[in-house]
Structure 1
Amino acid sequence: MRIIRQNNLFFAWLVAVVATLGSLYFSEIRGFIPCELCWFQRILMYPLSIILGIAAFLDDDKVKKYVLPLSIIGIFVSTYHYMKQKLPWLDAMQPCTKGIPCNTQYINWFGFVTIPFLALTGFVLITLFLSLKRSK
């Protein structure tokens, strides 16, 4: 646990990079077209790869005040998107009318792991890593 606390910026950056590369893999290699909510999640995640990378390199713990709002908003967007996929009545209230429907499940591993679930996991991990107090 001490290693994670001392390197929390690095681990948060690593999660952001994996999430960014994963989303690019799904769209550019697998050919999955992102829906509108997927784009919002990308808008929130992609900058974290750069910001957290610079912060980890410079060991700048002050970056939390810039990153945490993005990751917490990402948690809400991902949760809403995941609920639209798993709760049909929620999607019926306000269906996506442009492009790919937001309830499309390109993957459904183990019956619950979808792309918004993966994004949610990334945002939660980044938030948790940044919430850990660093002992220098």
Structure 2
Amino acid sequence: MNGMSAQSSWTLLFLAFAVALASSLAVLFVGEVMGQVPCNLCWFQRAFMFPLAIVLAVAAFRSDASAWIYGVPLAAAGWLIASFHTLLYLGIIPEAIQPCTASGPSCSSADMTILGGVPLPALSLLAFSAIIVFLALARRRSTS
């Protein structure tokens, strides 16, 4: 891999790491500082985002463009959960199967939005999508 391609891959890996870190810190802020208890689906998304921050930090530090091999499966699993959660939030999936409103905390309240009404599940979906795109681009740049 030439120097320009290596720098480009590192930048993309760093961007993927930055998204994972910002997402992890944001949900910790919402939960620990703002006192909002996450629903079950939020916990599952966190279970995939938190390790991504660590894995992608190591990948960026090492300029390891092969990080997509272990990063994309984590991000894809989180993406699937975030997609399901977003569909629940938007009411596309029937209320009868909504796990985050049956008992315990709910993501359907207005205080679970940010940036003027964007729901947290949609932000999670966006974050996982961005990570997947950055990792795919890093892989592409490292093989060209």
2:56 aligned residue (52, 57, 66): 52
Q: Which moved more, 1:101-110 or 1:50-59?
A: 101-110
- Kept in 2, the 8 Å contact 1:6–1:134? The answer is no
Q: TM-score, normalised by structure 2?
A: 0.82
- In structure 2, do the counterparts of structure 1 residues 6 and 108 end up closer, same or farther at CA, with 3 Å as the change threshold? closer
Q: Which moved more, 1:125-134 or 1:5-14?
A: 5-14
- In structure 2, do the counterparts of structure 1 residues 58 and 109 end up closer, same or farther at CA, with 3 Å as the change threshold? closer
Distance in 2, matches of 1:18 and 1:68, equals 18
Distance in 2, matches of 1:69 and 1:51, equals 12
RMSD: 2.1
- Kept in 2, the 8 Å contact 1:13–1:48? The answer is yes
Which residue identity does 2:96 align to in structure 1?
A: M
Distance in 2, matches of 1:21 and 1:6, equals 22
* Percent identity of paired positions between Structure 1 and Structure 2: 34
Q: TM-score, normalised by structure 1?
A: 0.86
Which residue identity does 1:92 align to in structure 2?
A: E
Query: Deviations for 1:77-133, whole angstroms, at most 9, x for unmatched residues?
Result: 11111111111x62422132332135345225444x111111111101100000112
- Kept in 2, the 8 Å contact 1:45–1:74? The answer is yes
2:87 aligned residue (76, 83, 90): 83
Residue equivalent to 2:121: 116
Kindly report which structure 2 residues correspond to 1:1-136, keeping only aligned pairs within 5 A, or say none.
5-87=9-91, 90-96=93-99, 97-105=102-110, 106-107=112-113, 109-111=115-117, 113-132=118-137, 133-135=140-142
Shift of 1:41: 0.4
Gaps of 5+ in 1: none
Gaps of 5+ in 2: none
**Quick check: which one's helix share is greater?**
2
Query: Deviations for 1:26-78, whole angstroms, at most 9, x for unmatched residues?
Result: 10111111000000000010000000000100111122111101111211111
Count of residue pairs brought into register by the alignment:
133
